[in-house]
Structure 1
Amino acid sequence: MFPRFPVQRLVSGYTAAIGIVLALLITADLELYRAWGFRLDDTPLQYLNSPTEMAASAGSAPLLLLALALLTLVGGGWWLYRKVAGHLAPLPAWFGRGRATLAALLYATLLVVPLRGGTQQIPVNQSDVYFSRIAFANHAAVNAPWNLMSALVLRAAERPPQPFMADSTARRLVATIYPRAVGKPAPADSSASILAEARPNVLFIILESFTAKLVGSVGGEVGVTPNLDSLARTGVLFNNIYAAGDRSQKGLVSLLSGYPNQPTTSIIKFPRKNEHLPHLCRSLTAAGYSSRYYYGGELAFANMKSYLQTAGYDQLTERNDFAAADQNSKWGAHDGALFSRVLSDLKQQPQPFFVTAFTLSSHEPFEVPMKPRYPSTNEADLFRNSVAYTDATLGQFLRQARQQPWYAHTLIVLVADHGHVLPGNSSNQSPAKFKIPLLLAGGALRPEARGRIISTLGSQTDVAATLLHQLQLPAAAFHWSRDLLVPHAVPFAYYCFNNGFGSVTPNGTITFDNVSRQVWERDPAVTDAQLQLSQAMQQVSLEDFARK
């Protein structure tokens, strides 16, 4: 017979080793947070090649106090382990090795649940513990060792790819579109006001997957979005706008912070980075606006909640804040319930307000509580039905909103978070997948501005500066955003897809694959200068992302 494997010694040794490592990480985090202002992540690893500088940096640390904290954690943890392990009853004689093995496999399988933070739809991330507009309070709720492992997993995505050109050349090219992104002043070029009052309420509605392909007023299919198209005839329509990325969380950052996307990750996943981004909510709060954010789903998705929490919204309303009967979608509450909640709450919302509402019914699996307008069960028609449903609930909301006192003093911003491959199964890099509608409407518009169509070619990131300038508020902090209503706006849009990027100008579109380092598609009239500008946009924006 084989000798009994020393499982107890192995478990005790493993527990002791892990306990010491965790205690070291927690102790180091205490000092690093005092010095750096953020929780322990992979940043210290960047200094392993300079141990002398590391030692010098630690020279002012209260080493005796930290050593005492370390010993307390290790000693207390070991005492607690022995206290618990010493009271475990031995296995009965009839519980043989076979059963013990099966039980061990079952326990190991069950560990998947705490590893992902529970059985909920979205795995655990920083958003699950962020609860305050005060950064320190949110940081205090984060588990430091977990934060380190999360940063290590995401670390590879932070590395900028090999540069295309000298930094000075790249910055000079980017300055022609976004001068503030490279530290240069923006040229003087003011836009005429389209608002009847300086500081109206702002209702910012983000439409899930509202591709331009299904919006007739911007050249898409006619009849899918009759309410949005009708509103466009009395609003200010931007018919040449492109999403900066292809995911909801990326669109959120582009719209609310005016920040470009990254090809292999998103800055929203890095709380330490996105805390330094500007935000429309923060800008409007400083100008006296109250604020609220609405979403029918879970804000923990893709770490959206931590981003929104630090933005300073007065209140966040998400899935669990809706009645159980209204949570009638796989993702949460359908858009009918969302708009009803917004309409009800706006009666008590202090003015001026900045209210953001993000729809979700037009997200896969495209199941909506409405009689199908398109009877086919193919995926494209299911998508059309879901977009038509959101448009119908939007129309109902607007008809009721016009009867409310606040409507006459409100600017409504309607814009998509991103486009979609459907209908037509656009390729991953196709500009048709990224084209989206942007519409300004509401009672705060000047009468002479109604019905105006703006054909300036622009990006989703440009919405922030365009809005702030209309509100007569500074937009200098939004380095990657520009006013699309100025007379001399350069027609240009840059977007990212999975490990690649593209740009659109009046000459056409060019797309580039980062893996092969080759042009993917290129329209005949596209110049080498456009390719260089696109490469410079990625190079400079990723350098900015890495520095955050």
Structure 2
Amino acid sequence: MFASSVAGSSRWFSFVNESWRIATLWLAGVLLFMSFRVFFLVYFHDRITTPIDLNVILNTLETGFAFDSAASGVCFSIPFLLNCILQPMRLGHWVRMVRNFTGKLFFVVAILLCITSITYIAEYGSQFNYFMFEGLHDDQQAIALTVIEQYRPWGSFLGLLALLVVAFKLCERVDKQSNSFLQRIFTDCKWKRTLLISIIVVLFICAIRGSFESRPASRKWSAVTPDPFINNLVINPFRSFFYAIKDYNDLQSHGVNGENPYLSHNSGLDALPLNALSKHTTAPLLAAPSQVFVIVMESYDSWPLQQKYAALNLTNQLKNLASKGIYLDNVLPAASSTMNSLSSIVSGIPYAGVNMSLIGPQNPSSKLSLFNQFEQLGYTSQFFYGGLLSWQNVGEYVLSQGVDKVYSAIDAGGKGSAGVWGIDDGQLFDLVAEKTTKKSFNVILSGSYHGPFNLDLDKYNYPYKSVADYPAEINKLAGELLDPYVLGHLWYADKMLGEFVAKMEQRYPDALFVITGDHYSRRNFHQRPNLYELTHVPMVIYGKGVSADLVPAQQVASHMDIAPTLLDLIAPANTQFYSMGQSLFNAAPDRRVFGFQTIRHNEQLWRGDLSALYEYYRVNERDKTQLLPATPSQFVEIDAQTEQAYTQYMATAWQLLTQGMD
């Protein structure tokens, strides 16, 4: 009894007792993150593309534990440090208050991020990254309604509430626990007290670092398995959220006055000067057409056009156009988001991680602008979008790049069945047909293949009601297949595209069309797409006098090649223009092409944070024809020359957007 009362009044014992409470909450945080990691591995198991064994799982959990320990440890460092400072001053009640507040705040944030990460992974195939902050500039109401209608997150909401109740009760129980068993270690011996305090402090430091080793838990050491999706789960949602903030801030460099992020660690490199981007056309291959249409299709990626999916008949309209013109399927989009890809195409400046639609209008029109360069050829430039011009500031952005006329859903009478995002593609193309003027250059951004998916497909005679309606050879694919109703929106978008091209071709027989996707769709037909299917978009150039033999079918290309190719096709000889792309009529067969965090060189394909973690895939033409995926290719690191070329390319793009070039 005496020992108990002495222990209760001892500042040393109060420190140990409070340290135990903090350690209990730290452990609960670690178990929370670890539980979600295991859940992700099970729930998203069909996204794992390489064979795994027990060692892979153990490596994942072991390395994940380091990140979990660090995330939880950093959050509880404040009450622990106060415990070290205030307990000797007999101010333990302040430590208790801070610990209670920190514990509840930590669990609210951690559980919210973990629950939200389920939907984020389902849509984007990864945990949080810089891209999530692009939503700050998007139509947030439309995004919220899309999430509600497409994912119906009521189960996640109930799970969030249940976990919060458990977490709060745990905090209360830890606070009220007497921890009387700790009285057994009570001692008056100063060296024993010092030893125990030293052990507690060392364990605390190791918990924050996530490691007993010389190097702490760090993103660059997280790729411990051969599967990129599993590697992405090594870092917990809490830590990945803060990495996303860091990456976003690094890319933005705190606005247009910051240091070029691509040159800060590459002192030997410089952004290319503007005169290095100057080019001249050769002799035109076509007489200047009366109408030019650049059509950017929402989420229209390469996989539906592959031979192995031909039986689905999803994109017959574009296939028909491709068979009569130039068709390329080795094309990298400028970005993985609609606005940034569109911005890159119209401005001629590749996306380098900075939100182009906000910074662009602050600067003079880009000298690489597609609109300006076609206006010099005598065309009236027009932009058509099926949503509202306030979305991603798209109206102001295209005007800043020199477009003459801008049309949106408002000009077609408002909303269609697409609901929150605007009018349907059929209505959009009707608007384009109505507003097309003599000798116009038109950029069109479609939108129907975008959630929430709510078109009435029956009135268009869409053939698939259920997965069972898919062709027999398609149903041989193992695992869950993409919902036919969702897929029907791609079919509808393709149908409307075909009807529009036929109408315009009849009205303007010399019309020229360039059709591409804004980015890959993030909705793949089956759950194990290869990296090629996750990165490429098609490009079709169609019109009178355009033939397939003008460009090799296997030529690699990017969105940035659209402008120089069009200009080389129709502009008078020796017309000067500026471009970071190349005309496909004289591009080298073995050239490197770049998208944001994506590189293609011959058959070699890399994607990811190229300074730390990335995936590799060797593009195999057989994969485009055989339904079942081939064995994954052996990993190949990016060679120094290719990485340097990518860095300079992005540094130049960043400089063009934020600083401009004279």
1:156 to 254, 267, 281: 254
Q: Classify 1:491/1:503 alpha carbon distance in 2 versus 1 (closer, same or farther; 3 Å).
A: same
Give 1:384's aligned amino acid: L
Change (3 A) 1:386 1:185: closer
Q: Could you say what secondary structure the match of 2:324 adopts?
A: coil
Structure whose CA Rg is larger: 2
Pick aligned residue for 2:454 from 367, 377, 380: 367
Gaps of 5+ in 2: 1-135, 145-248, 468-480, 618-634
Q: How does 1:141-152 map to 2 (within 5 A)?
A: none
Are 1:214 and 1:221, in contact at CA under 8 Å, matched by a contact in 2?
no
What is the one-letter code of the residue matched to 1:532?
A: Q
Paired residue for 1:32?
A: none
Find the counterpart in structure 2 of residue 248 from structure 1: 338
Aligned to 2:357: 268
Q: Find 2:598's aligned residue among 491, 498, 502.
A: 502
1:520 to 610, 614, 624: 614
Which string of whole-angstrom CA distances, capped at 9 and with x for unpartnered residues, describes residues 304-350 of structure 1? Answer: 1111122333321111111257465331110111112222333xx12
> Aligned pair in 2 of structure 1 residues 374, 530: CA closer, same or farther (>3 Å)?
farther
1:354 aligns with 2:444: no
Kindly state the Cα deviation for residue 545 of structure 1 after the two structures are TM-superposed. 3.5
SS in structure 1 at match of 2:421: coil
Q: Which residue of 1 aligns with 2:556?
A: 457
* TM-score of the two chains, using structure 1 as the length reference: 0.61
Residues 429 and 511 in structure 1, CA contact (< 8 A), matched pair in contact too: no
**1:535 is the counterpart of 2:647:** yes
Q: How far apart, CA to CA, are the structure 2 residues paired with 1:456 and 1:119?
A: 39
Alignment correspondent of 1:19: none
Distance 1:170 1:531 in 2: 14
User: How much does 1:506 deviate?
Assistant: 1.2
Shift of 1:187: 8.2
* Separation (CA, whole Å) in 2 of partners of 1:453 and 1:219: 23
Q: Look up the match of 2:232.
A: none
Identity %: 19
Change (3 A) 1:164 1:291: closer
Which residue of structure 2 lines up, in the alignment, with residue 300 of structure 1? 390
The 2-side partners of 1:118 and 1:542 are apart by 25
1:286-297 map, 5 Å:
286-297=376-387
Between 356-365 and 197-206, the greater mean CA deviation after superposition: 197-206
User: Judging changes above 3 Å, is the alpha-carbon distance between structure 1 residues 492 and 381 closer, same or farther for their aligned structure 2 residues?
Assistant: farther
Q: 2:409 aligns with which of 319, 342, 345?
A: 319
Q: Is 1:184 paired with 2:296?
A: no
SS at structure 1 position matched to 2:295? strand
* Alpha-carbon spacing, 1:545–1:489, altered in 2? closer, same or farther (3 Å): farther
**2:344–2:560 CA contact under 8 A, matched in 1:** yes
Residue 403 in 1 paired to residue 506 in 2? yes
Aligned pair partner of 1:423 in 524, 547, 552 = 524
CA distance in 2, matches of 1:429, 1:290: 41
Change (3 A) 1:118 1:211: closer
1:259, 1:478 within 8 Å by CA — same for their partners in 2? Answer: no
The CA distance in 2 between the partners of 1:295 and 1:117, in whole Å, is 15
Inter-partner Cα distance in structure 1 for 2:275 and 2:598: 24
Partner of 1:423, secondary structure, is coil
CA distance in 2, matches of 1:162, 1:547: 14
Deviations 1:49-75 (A, max 9, x none): xxxxxxxxxxxxxxxxxxxxxxxxxxx
Q: CA deviation at 1:431?
A: 4.5
- Runs of 5+ unmatched residues, structure 1: 1-114, 124-150, 172-179
Q: What's the secondary structure of 1:438's corresponding residue?
A: strand
> 1:221, 1:157 → 2: CA distance?
49
CA–CA separation in structure 1 for the residues paired with 2:308 and 2:565:
19
CA distance 1:219–1:257, shift in 2 (3 Å): farther
In structure 2, the partner of 1:81 is none
**C-alpha contact 2:277 2:578 (8 A) present in aligned 1:** no
Q: What letter is aligned with 1:301?
A: W
Aligned to 1:209, what secondary structure does the other structure show? coil
* AA matched with 2:595: Y
The answer to whether the 8 A contact 1:216-1:229 is kept is no
After TM superposition, the structure 1 = structure 2 runs for residues 187-198 of structure 1, keeping only pairs within 5 Å, are 193-195=284-286, 197-198=287-288
Structure-2 change in CA distance of 1:488 and 1:169 (3 Å): same
Q: Quick check: 1:292–1:316 contact (8 Å CA) kept in 2?
A: yes
Q: Which has the higher helix share?
A: 2
Would you say 1:387 and 2:490 are equivalent positions?
yes
Aligned mates of 1:324, 1:303 — CA distance in 2: 18
CA RMSD of aligned residues (A): 3.7
TM-score scaled to structure 2, two decimals? 0.51
Counterparts of 2:303 and 2:139, CA distance in 1 = 39
Could you say which residue in structure 2 is the equivalent of 1:486? 586
Give yes or no for contact 1:319–1:327 (8 Å, CA) kept in 2.
no
8 A contact 1:510–1:531 mirrored in 2: no
Change (3 A) 1:545 1:185: closer
CA displacement at 1:267 relative to structure 2: 1.7
Counterpart Cα distance in 2 of 1:296 and 1:486? 35
Equivalent residues of 2:607, 2:615 under 8 A apart: yes
Quickly say closer, same or farther: Cα 1:284–1:532, change in 2 above 3 A.
Answer: closer
Equivalent AA in structure 2 for residue 456 of structure 1: Q
How far apart in 2 are the matches of 1:169 and 1:428?
A: 36
Asked if 1:341 corresponds to 2:431, the answer is yes
Give, in whole Å, the separation in 2 of the partners of 1:465 and 1:116. Answer: 30
**Pair 1:201–1:470, CA change in 2 (3 A):** same
> Relative to structure 1, is the Cα distance of residues 451 and 221 closer, same or farther in structure 2, using a 3 angstrom cutoff?
farther
Partner of 2:195: none
1:531/1:314 Cα in 2 relative to 1: closer, same or farther (>3 Å)? closer
Letter in 2 for 1:269: L
Displacement, 1:185?
Answer: 6.6
Indicate conservation of the 8 Å contact 1:416/1:438, yes or no. yes
**Deviation per CA, 1:415-453, whole angstroms, max 9, x where unpaired?**
11111222057899944322011111123x25x557965
> CA, structure 1 residues 266+476, in 2 after alignment: closer, same or farther (shift >3 Å)?
farther
Number of the residue aligned with 1:49: none
SS at match of 2:357: helix
